[in-house]
Chains A and B, each alone.
Chain A
């Protein structure tokens, strides 16, 4: 069964302390790997799509990378406003509407 696992479940950082979140997947030939940010009481907000191994995308302090087995979300010099739950998801081979989500990493950035 196609699966996605995110780690760590929770992460506490000091402001300016860079780190990475991991998303491991078992599906082969995925048609897209997505990163979302979710704030409390809100729906997930799209951040990045990665389609092939070696691809990288950047936005402000965030950079997403993709290998054949996992994706990383690198957070450089985080600020308190980066605190949120970060979700990854993938579209399996054959596509369709069945996006499979991980359970997320809850990030808290403290002053």
Chain B
């Protein structure tokens, strides 16, 4: 019973590098989303998707890209990493818009 799986668990990048955070869910959920969690700020929505081929911006989308080619996968791309993107990133999914989110265990990213 995997749920939401995120890889990698930890990553260190240099400023200007790019990378992709992976997220996969096996619950056949249509809704998927990416959040970042910073001390004192709570969880903030970066991007979300309501189904394959459909994505939209959340509260803090700048510097990040997403795509959704399958129901299962929702990768998050950092194009030109900046120190301000140092954070813990969580992927989550839900089966309808008033049901609870199911979270992965996060990726801790440090940009130096």
The interface of chain A, by Cβ under 8 A from chain B, is: 31-32, 34, 41-46, 49, 51, 87, 89, 91, 95-99, 101-104
Contacts and interface: CB of A to CB of B under 8 A. Distances in A.
A54 B41 CA distance: 29
Contact of B104 (A43, A91, A97): A43
B90 A43 contact: yes
A42 B107 CA distance: 10
> Secondary structure of the B side of the interface?
strand
Contacts, number: 65
Contacts of B75: none
For B43, B44, B98, B99, the residue with the greatest tally of chain A CB atoms inside 10 Å of its CB is B43
Nearest to B43: A101
Given A31-B97, A31-B98, A32-B98, A44 B42 contact: no
For B4, B31, B45, B100, the residue with the greatest tally of chain A CB atoms inside 10 Å of its CB is B100
Contact of A43 (B40, B48, B99, B106): B106
